[in-house]
Structure formats: structure tokens, C-alpha cells
Amino acid sequence: MSDTVASPAKSKSASPLITILIASLMLFSMFFGAGNLIFPPMVGVSSGTNFWPAIIGFLIAGVLLPVAAIVSIAISGYSVRDLAGRGGLFFGIAFSVMAYLSIGAFYALPRTGAVSMETAITPLLGWEGTAANGIFNVIFFGIALALSWKPNNVIDILGRFLTPALVILLIALITLAVTNYERIPGTPTEAYESSPLVTGLFEGYNTMDAIAGLAFGIVIISSLRAKGFGRGGTLIRSTIIIGIIAGTLLAAIYLGLGYMAQTVPDGQSYESGAILLADSAKLTMGTPGQTVFSLIVVLACLTTAVGLITSTSEFFNSLVPKISYHAWAIIFTVLSILIAFRGLDAVMAVAVPFIVFLYPPAIALIVMTLVQPLVRKVVGFYWAYRLALWVSVLWSALTTISAQGWGTNILEPMLNLSPGQDLDLGWITPTFIAFIIGVVIDVIAKNADREVQKAKITD
């Protein structure tokens, strides 16, 4: 996931179609950071003969949910903090803070340094180990902090030229691998053998793009409004089109990377999608190709890091104005170095609890926001939002606590009462029940208000 916040081209003569196309590429660039490279190849090699259900699960979480998040923001017209505020003031602030931390210093930001090291530097130069990792990440994040110190067009310029170059190289890599090497699906690993779709789904969660979509949506809306798209149906339809175009491009790249990984000899011996992809580049294009690929990966990660430092620092500066933007930028940079120099596995170890906890309320928020316009004339969601979101938070928190080994003997039997808990989907049933109860309360409240209004008119 990339968080590079850019704006579409500012030419006043640009037609609506050109504006939509440029905004679509911008959204793709925001979603697709070099970190997103590491998951599809591992889905491909691990799923083996169960490739299609696994990759479909991955696309649901890694493409469909992010696009739905963009649409939900378009429908509501709010920022993620305002949208999350439908669950109450505390939920709105807490969810937004955790969302920005997860796409920032606790996951996506240190991932840019870790992926750069493992995908580009180690395979090309052979540098590895704690010392090399630490030195590289200090230099990498030092440059990112310097570029973030005074945010300007450098993010827009690098992102606009770099993303097409990265996509072109990936298409070339995928095409060469698929056409020159035989695809030989292996035996699925245990997880992909028993439940390939759900396992792929949770790999798609690792991109964090569904949560990022909630933060990115307002950027797209603001860009379109600046281009004169107004605030009505045209804006919503245009945003949906942009989401579909960006999502289609994401899906095509993910499919290609997963499919390509099955052409790599002994693919299941790899423990990291980063190393697998680097070796595939060398196999298909030789050392020169690997060199170019490594350079683009580092630059892609760098622009992503700049965007993440900038956006998260600006958010926390708006939340706590007494701490300056520059102070927040330094804090997040130092945290990222400390996490990233330990390697990609350490980043994932920090991220997984956040991912497990945040996704249920994020999905519930997205779905309810999409449903609300369909029933607005019948009922307005108030308690529906609050009850469903808090139940999803409670269930998600208990699941995360149990997964960490705290009170498992007490929590697990209770959580297992919900269908799908063994697949980490047990939160759906209690959340849906809470949502229905909330809707009933909202309908009763609305009818009561109508009766009060009628009584006033009669009097």
C-alpha cells in the first residue's frame, strides 16, 4: 500500500474523462506501494493447485474492500474521522488513530524499508544481517524524512513518473515469466488445502488497503471537487468509476504476480515473497534486469515512505496541535527505523494484531455506509451504527487477546459459539445481530418522532 497523496493534473482544459483517468492512476499509485508486491507471489506458490479460490479470496480483501471503502467515503462525503464518528465520538477518534498508525509507523511505513532491503538490496548486493539492515534503514528513512520536511511537488512528481515505470516493469516481468517458463502448481500448503479462499482473504488483509481506502477516499473527492465535479450524483458516479479502474489495474497486477510465482522453480521453498520476486526478476531478465528492478523498488518504497510520513504526521498534528508536524515526522521516522531494521518478519509480527483487530469494525463501517442510502427513506442509522460497530470492536478485541494467548481457555469456548470463528470470521454473526437490533431501535425512534410531530400538528 502506498499513501502518496497527490493531485490530478491541474490543467484547466482537461476533460472530465482525462481527469477521471488521471485520478484513477493516482488512486492506484496511492494503493500500490512496493510492499504490495510481497503478498501475491506467496499466495501463488503456497496455494498451488488451489490457486483460483485463494487468489479470489485475496482479491476480495485486497481489491474489492478498498474499492468499497472509496465508494463509502464518496457516498458519505466525509473524512475517515467523521465517518468513524458515526460510532460515537470516542470510536471516531480511536478508530482513526489506530487506522493511521497501522498504515503508518506500526506497519506500512517500516514495511517500506524492510521490503526495500529484502527485495532490492540483499538480492543485488548481498548485504544482509542486523548491521547492514540498520545502516540501510537509517539512510533510507533519513532521506524520506528530509523529503517530508517541507512537503512539495516531489511526491507528486516521483509518484506520477515512478508508478507507470513500476507497472511497465512488472508487466514485462510477468509476461516474460509466463511466456518463457512453464507454470507448475505445487501441492497446496496445509492452510490453502483446507480453506484456500479464507486463507487468501486474510493474506489480502495484509495489504491494509481497505483501511487505507477510508483515508484515501476524501483525497479523491477533494480532487474531483476542485475540478468542478460538484457534490451530487456526478461526483459519486465518477468516484465509483475511478475506484473500479484503479481496482481493475490492481487485480490484474495481483493476478499476474500470483500466476507468475508458480513458474519459479521450487517456489514453495521461499519464505518471503520479496526474495521470490527478486529471484524471478533475475531468472527472467538477468542481472541488468534485476538491477533496474531493485532501483525502482527502492524508489517506489521511498515515495511511499514520504507520503506516509507526511499524511500521518499531518493527521496527528491536527489531532494534537501542540506537537508540531516536524516533531510527529521525527517520531514516526524513528519508530519505523526501530521496527524495520529487524526485518520484514518483525514488521509482520507487529502488524498482525492490528490487522486482526481493525478489519472487523472497518468492514462493518464500510458495509453499513453502503447500505444506508438504500434504506434512507425508511430509517436513518444511528443505533445501528453504534451497536454494530461496538460489538465488532468487542468481538475483535477478544479474538485478538485470545490469539495472543491471554485468557485463551476462558475466551476461546465463548468465541467458538459464533459460526465461522475457526476461520476468524466469528465477528460477523454477533455484529449482524447488533445491527438488526439497532435498526429496530432506529425504526421505533423514527415512528415515535412521527407521532410526536403529528400530535403537534393536531394541537
Which CATH number characterizes residue 71's domain?
Answer: 1.20.1740.10
Residue 309 has a pLDDT of 86
**For cell 524524512, what's the residue?**
145
- What are 20-37's pLDDT values in tens digits? 887 787 788 778 776 688
Burial of 144 (0-12, 13-18, 19+ CB in 10 A): buried
Confidence of residue 383 (pLDDT cuts 50, 70, 90): very high
Statement to judge: residues 299 and 397 lie in one domain: no
How many domains are there within the chain? Answer: 2
- What are 256-300's pLDDT values in tens digits? 999 988 888 888 888 878 778 878 877 777 878 778 778 878 887
Residue 31 has a pLDDT of 82
Statement to judge: residues 340 and 248 lie in one domain: yes
DSSP alpha helix (H) spans, 107-152: 108-115, 122-125, 130-149
In a domain, 3, yes or no: no
- Which of 16-30, 144-158, 302-316, 418-432 is least confident? 144-158
In a domain, 180, yes or no: yes
Domain termination site, one of 355, 385, 418: 355
Statement to judge: residues 88 and 125 lie in one domain: yes
Domain termination site, one of 323, 355, 387: 355
Confidence of residue 5 (pLDDT cuts 50, 70, 90): very low
Higher pLDDT, 17 or 346: 17
Residue 162, pLDDT > 70, answer no
In a domain, 63, yes or no: yes
Higher pLDDT, 118 or 10: 118
Higher pLDDT, 242 or 341: 242
In a domain, 418, yes or no: yes
Report DSSP state, residue 34. G
In a domain, 163, yes or no: yes
Higher pLDDT, 235 or 429: 429
In a domain, 365, yes or no: no
- What are 69-120's pLDDT values in tens digits? 888 888 776 677 888 888 998 998 999 898 888 878 888 888 888 888 888 8
Statement to judge: residues 395 and 316 lie in one domain: no
Statement to judge: residues 423 and 325 lie in one domain: no
Statement to judge: residues 189 and 299 lie in one domain: yes
Residue 160 has a pLDDT of 64
Residue 10, pLDDT > 60, answer no
40's grid cell: 501475491
227's grid cell: 475540478
Residue 367 has a pLDDT of 92
Statement to judge: residues 208 and 301 lie in one domain: yes
Statement to judge: residues 351 and 381 lie in one domain: no
| N-term to C-term CA, the chain | 60
In a domain, 424, yes or no: yes
Statement to judge: residues 297 and 418 lie in one domain: no
- Percent pLDDT > 90 in the chain is 29
In a domain, 9, yes or no: no
In whole angstroms, how large is the CA radius of gyration of the chain?
A: 23
Residue 167 has a pLDDT of 79
Higher pLDDT, 156 or 401: 401
pTM of the model: 0.81
Residue 441: domain span: 376-459
Residue 402, pLDDT > 60, answer yes
- What are 199-221's pLDDT values in tens digits? 999 888 878 888 888 877 766 77
With CA atoms as reference, report the closest residue to 208 among 424, 14, 359: 359
Statement to judge: residues 342 and 437 lie in one domain: no
Residue 384 has a pLDDT of 95
Residue 11 has a pLDDT of 44
Statement to judge: residues 194 and 304 lie in one domain: yes
Confidence of residue 7 (pLDDT cuts 50, 70, 90): very low
Residue 307 has a pLDDT of 76
What would the mean pLDDT of 142-166 be, rounded to a whole number? Answer: 70
Q: Which long-range contacts does 369-376 make (Cβ < 8 Å, 24+ apart)?
A: 369/72, 369/75, 369/76, 369/83, 369/86, 370/68, 370/71, 370/72, 370/75, 372/75, 373/75
Statement to judge: residues 390 and 249 lie in one domain: no
Confidence of residue 389 (pLDDT cuts 50, 70, 90): very high
